[in-house]
Amino acid sequence: MLKAEGLSFSYPQKIVFKDISFELKAGDIMTILGPNGVGKSTLFDCLCRLKKPDTGKIYLDNKAITSYNLKQLANTITLLSQTVKSVFDFTVKEYILMGVAPRISPFGSPKTKDYEEVNQIMLELNIAHFADRIFTQLSGGEKQQISIAKAVLQKPKIILFDEPTSFLDIGNQQKILRLIKKMAIDGYCIIMTTHNPDHAIQLGGTCAIMHPKGHMTICKPNNLNQNLLSEIYNTPLHLLKINELDRYACLAAKLED
């Protein structure tokens, strides 16, 4: 479904990443880890053709990404970025409804079933009480949840979540992780960036670590290397089996007094 071959990207005087390759299919989850500034968001921009890589190729359903027109691309892959903006005073329900735009003609309008799907998605995400609120007046965390609902309504095959748990409290973080896991079960291909290695462990699937020197290491979350994580985040981290949870967890070392 999504294949990257030998991707490299650089700015003058700086290599952002180099020789990145991976292949994902429907139902796969890949969680990308790495410190600030290693190019996670830039990689996403390349995957949805907002930026052009210096080298390498990207394929969607065995077709070069360059062969897709903008509408075809929007119906296939969606990027949910860290910063959510709207300059108009849409209600939350109106904002989510814009997710159907790539599926309708330029002069078409949403159908009854589209409104029904908006209502269902808001119920599933427990955000129905926001329906008539003005989107621009919401907090950062609330906007993040609304934007995820919009991405779900768009029904692409592939969703790129750029730090979807940013600004969210721990309860809402877990809600979003459960939603992402369910979406994968439903057949979506998901790539997510996060600064929390524990999220990669919870989601399972594949883990990709972007290094400050530009390359990527791909592994299963249970095979994460705590020494590597400590090195790239420049802080002591430990992978421990938590018997009560029946899973591994990534924890920071005790703070010095």
Asked whether residue 16 falls in the same domain as residue 135, the answer is no
Domain-located, residue 251: no
**Domain that residue 37 falls in:** 1-76+156-228
pLDDT tens for 201-218 read: 999 999 999 998 889 999
Asked whether residue 160 falls in the same domain as residue 63, the answer is yes
Domain-located, residue 100: yes
Asked whether residue 70 falls in the same domain as residue 171, the answer is yes
CATH of the domain at 18: 3.40.50.300
- Whether the CB-CB separation of 117 and 103 falls below 8 Å is answered with no
Query: For residues 22 and 9, what is the distance between their CA atoms, to the nearest angstrom?
Result: 16
Query: For residues 48 and 18, what is the distance between their CA atoms, to the nearest angstrom?
Result: 18
Token readout for 20 is 């990145």
Listed as own residue / partner, the contacts of 177-181 with beta carbons closer than 8 Å and 24 or more positions apart are 177/202, 177/203, 179/124, 179/125, 179/148, 179/152, 180/29, 181/29
DSSP letter for 101, please: G
Asked whether residue 66 falls in the same domain as residue 178, the answer is yes
Question: Whole-model pTM?
Answer: 0.86
Question: Last residue of some domain: 134, 151, 168?
Answer: 151
Domain-located, residue 242: no
Asked whether residue 147 falls in the same domain as residue 113, the answer is yes
Asked whether residue 65 falls in the same domain as residue 95, the answer is no
Between the two ends of the chain, the Cα-to-Cα distance in Å is 50
pLDDT at residue 42 is higher than 90: yes
Question: Last residue of some domain: 110, 130, 151?
Answer: 151
Q: What are phi and psi of 39, to 5 degrees?
A: 105, 20
Domains contained in the chain, number:
2
pLDDT at residue 84 is higher than 70: no
pLDDT at residue 38 is higher than 80: yes
Token readout for 185 is 């079960």
Asked whether residue 70 falls in the same domain as residue 181, the answer is yes
Confidence band (pLDDT; 50, 70, 90) for 85?
low
Token readout for 224 is 């994460």
Query: For residues 16 and 226, what is the distance between their CA atoms, to the nearest angstrom?
Result: 24
Asked whether residue 62 falls in the same domain as residue 168, the answer is yes
pLDDT tens for 105-128 read: 777 788 889 899 999 989 988 899
Strand order in the sheet with 55-60: 14-24, 2-11, 55-60, 63-64
Domain-located, residue 83: no
Phi-psi region of 141 (alpha: psi -120 to 50; beta: other; left: phi over 0): alpha
Domain-located, residue 196: yes
pLDDT tens for 43-83 read: 999 999 999 999 999 999 999 999 999 888 888 999 988 76
Domain-located, residue 11: yes
Q: Coil, strand, or helix at residue 162?
A: strand
- Whether the CB-CB separation of 27 and 184 falls below 8 Å is answered with yes
Confidence band (pLDDT; 50, 70, 90) for 139?
confident
Asked whether residue 168 falls in the same domain as residue 221, the answer is yes
Compute the CA torsion angle 26, 83, 51, 107 (nearest 10 deg): 70
Domain-located, residue 20: yes
Domain-located, residue 85: no
Question: Last residue of some domain: 98, 122, 151?
Answer: 151
Query: For residues 172 and 165, what is the distance between their CA atoms, to the nearest angstrom?
Result: 8
- Whether the CB-CB separation of 133 and 91 falls below 8 Å is answered with yes
